[in-house]
Structure 1
Amino acid sequence: MTLYPELTDEKRRELLNSMVLIRTYEEAILREYHADKSPGFDIGAGLIPGEMHLAAGQEPVAAGLGAHLTKDDAMTATHRPHHVAIAKGVRLREMTAEIFGRETGLGRGRGGHMHLFDPETHFSCSGIVAEGLPPALGQAMAFRRGGGDRIAVAVAGEGAANAGAFHESLNLAALWKLPVVFVIEDNDWGISVPRAQSTSVTSNADRGAAYGIPGVRVEENSVEGVYEACGEAVARARAGNGPSLVEVHTLRLWGHFEGDAQGYRTDLEGVPGRDPLPTYKQALVDSGAITEEDYNVMTASASERVEDAIDFAKASPTPDPADALDYVFSEGARS
């Protein structure tokens, strides 16, 4: 793995620490999701019913991007949101309670893991492909009108780059010179469709040129590469110079959703060897940036935080069925 010489060891440790926390969280959610769905897999059973999309392998995107964002910046994300939510600083206890469908969750247990909304950190996500891009424009416009240097970031998958909302959003962002950064996570697969069968260009970053904005692609799932590319894009947006497009060639270690047998994947045999977490950890050990003991402390701290959030969620009450129509629009509310 290439290490960027301008990065300090302290920053490298921060990036690794973020990746460790994210992986620890996803592994815990994986454990809890499957704990009560056996002997036969039943997607509707258990403490966390419904679909579950986990982001193991995509930690470099979240860590490298999140390192440049403040609590007051805004972020929109996808149906696979936990990693970027954690990097943005979304409250871990409340996010976990939402995933478990509990009253103490971010959306009082009504939204689940694909619909996380945290006003404190200006984070939101949706299960609809490319849905987060237009709202990011609105946030960016509001920030520009309000003054200051707040920015918006829209994180989307490579499949979203073929949606009309992607092109419309890039066009308006460039036309109005909005303080927004578009980040595309290219994990090679749009559910079960390989990227080469759905996209006519080899790099979505090339599409930035059509709208007169910078486009850069980060290869090798490099957290330091993401940090550098996103740092330049964020600085450009904060300075009032308009939007940028960053695509990261990342990796989906697990299925599109939990329960996905992945029979369509031809690359599974080589996937474990491309895991970015042990690769980056070893690179930092070899460079002297961390020791094995440092890494053990990181993992122990992450585990403590994650298990606390899991315990909080499990101990929280489920919503009262009598309140099912609360917090939703109704004919009476509109009249």
Structure 2
Amino acid sequence: MSLRLGAFQVGEEIGRGGMARVYAGLHERLGTEVAIKIMAGPARESTEVRSRRFAKEIEAVARLQHPGVVMIYDHGIIDAETAALHPKLQRGIPWFAMEYCSGGNLATHQFENWVDLRNALVTLLDALAYTHAFGVLHRDLKPANVLISDADDVRHGIKLADFGLALGEEDEVTAVHSSLGTPHYMAPEQVLGHWRDFDASTDLYAFGCMVWRLVTGRPPFAQGDAVLTQILTSQLRDTPPRFFPLFAVPDTLEGWLRRLLQKVPLQRFRSAADAMAALPDEDAPMAPFDDLQESVNITAFENTVVLPDDATVVVEQTFNDPGFMTWDEDALSQDGVFRRNDQSLVTTTTDIDKLMPARSA
């Protein structure tokens, strides 16, 4: 039996993560293709908690009217009649319909030259500046959360999407060790759950990790099959590795990226506008480039491990999608370390705290 939500006919599933499933959809009267996101979420969270986070995403995106931010058309909840006809859907679960981006996302897109990449970065930095001006922090910037609209879509271009972890100016994280995000793209203060330090520079750190990935084929702190504890430790204390771009880039780009990836927030660019102003121009001098260097698989380094929901640090899905992670507040007093194949993956939050650089007075 076909599923209809509001004015939309729901089609086949086109994506899923730990927080939601996404379906192709069609506005029945207008014939407009849409994407319909229906809340799912980790079983360890209550429906109320998941619904609240999902509602925050709707609220955040609905007030952001920018060509570089995905647009929401409508939203609602699953009513009793719909739930009765479709047993997999739970009554009261929220959904929303957004613009359909047929080009996929940046997780599987490979840029081939600096001009095309720079154009994309300008669009995304402008979108970030806009969202930050509205007091919204994304908190989960990564290639998979940047969608690509082709020429036949409603609005051509690239779009920031998946604001499920977004924080507004009035929001407060009540649990000191609460931490959400994708490990390969998390700023140190986000890894530690130091929510009072979250600001625009937190998103810019993730943006730097994402650009590093788009240029080199891998995030800065992903060495082969790096396990979770190594990634988190590197985010806290390691400098980025040697920079090996897959195509010719300006000789000042590496320095620009390394500033975004500073461990101390005050040492990064303070705003997306500042980062855009410092971004190398299209005609900037290029660094020497050897196009015979070893090729890099651009998807292999974001699909690392899946951990169960009883570890101190919880990753409900793969790092690539959606990379949901929380500190388990109930486990903070325990000394146990979760192990997979006899290899230590996760230390306690207290151990991770010791790795953070000391804050300047």
TM-score range, shorter chain: under 0.3
| Structure of higher RCO (CA pairs closer than 8 Å, 6+ residues apart) | 1
Higher fraction of strand: 2
